[in-house]
Amino acid sequence: MRFGLSRRFIWRVGDLPRDGSVKVALLGALADPSPRVRYSACVGLSTRKEKGCTVAIAARLKDADRDVRLVAVRVLGRFREVRALPAILALYDREKADDLREFAFAESLANLGETKVSLTAARRALDSDNGRLRDSIVDSLRQIDSEAILPVAMEWLASEMRRTIDRVPGSGFDRGSYASLCFILTRGGQKYQTDPTVWFEWWEKARVDYAAPPLKIDAGAVRKVYAEYKKAR
C-alpha cells in the first residue's frame, strides 16, 4: 500500500494503532508530490502527537505550497517546538498578509511563548468576519502568559461585543469568544464577569498603566449598546 499517496489513510491516522509504521508512513508523506497529502501528513502527525517528527515538519516551512507552510507553522506551535521559532518568525514577513496568515502565526507563536508578533497578528485579524478563525485566535491568546495581552484583549472585547449583539438571538455574553476574553482580562486583577460596561469603565483608567491608547468606543457608548442587547434578549 502506498501510504504516502493515500489521503484517506492519513485523515484516519488518529484511529490507527501506534506501532511505528504509521509514523514512518506519515513522515514519508511529507515529501509526497501532492500538496494535499503533505498538508494532511502534517495534520496526521499533530493528531497523533508523534514524537521526533518536528525537524521533518519544520522543513515544510519552505514548502512550495502556502497551505502546507501555514499548517506546518500551526503544528510546530502545537508541538511547542521552540527551536523552530526563528524560522517561523522569519517566515511571517514573507507570507502574504491576510486572515489566514494572522490566524496561523497568532496561534503558533502564542503556543511557543512569543508575545510581540503573536499579538501583532492577533490585532491585525481583529476585523475578520470568519467566526471560527476569531474563536481560534482568542483560544490561542489564552496561552500568552503576559499582561501585554490586556490591551489587545480589550480591543477584541469591543469588537466581539458588537458581533455577539448582532448574533442575538442564539448568542450571549456568557459563552464563546467574548466569555474567553473576559477570562483573559481577569489577569488585570479584576473578578470574572461578562458585563462589558464594567470592563470598559475599568479600562478607561487602567489603560494608562499599560501605555495603551484609547479604544475606539468609550464606556458611555458601551452602556448604550449593552442596554440594547439586554432589551433584545
pLDDT tens, residue by residue, 70-116? 999 999 999 999 999 999 999 999 999 998 999 999 999 999 999 99
Neighbour-count burial for 131-150, b at 16+ CB within 10 Å, e otherwise: eebbebbbebbebbeeeebb
Residue 22 domain-assigned? no
- Report the alpha-carbon distance of residue 75 to residue 120 in Å, rounded: 20
- Residue 214 falls inside a structural domain: yes
Residue 86 lies in a domain: no
Domain annotation covers residue 110: no
pTM value? Answer: 0.81
Number of domains in the chain: 1
Share of the chain above pLDDT 70, in %: 88
Containing H/E element for 128? Answer: none
Q: Which of 53, 67, 112, 115 is nearest to 88 (CA)?
A: 112
Domain span at 187:
147-233
Q: Is residue 193 part of a domain?
A: yes
Distance, CA of 207 to CA of 215 (rounded, Å): 9
Residue 206 CA to residue 197 CA, distance in Å, equals: 14
Question: Model confidence over 3-54: pLDDT tens digits?
Answer: 444 555 555 665 566 677 888 989 999 999 999 999 999 999 998 889 999 9
What does the alpha-carbon distance between residue 16 and residue 50 come to, in Å, rounded to a whole number? Answer: 13
DSSP 15: G
Per-residue confidence at 233, pLDDT binned at 50, 70, 90?
low
Q: Quick one: cell of 92?
A: 511571517
152 assigned to some structural domain: yes
**Rounded Cα gap, residues 56 and 123, in angstroms:** 31
**Confidence band for 184, pLDDT divided at 50, 70 and 90:** very high
**What one-letter code names the amino acid at 57?**
I
Query: Has residue 63 got a pLDDT over 70?
Result: yes
Q: CA neighbours within 13 Å on the CB side: how many for 213?
A: 3
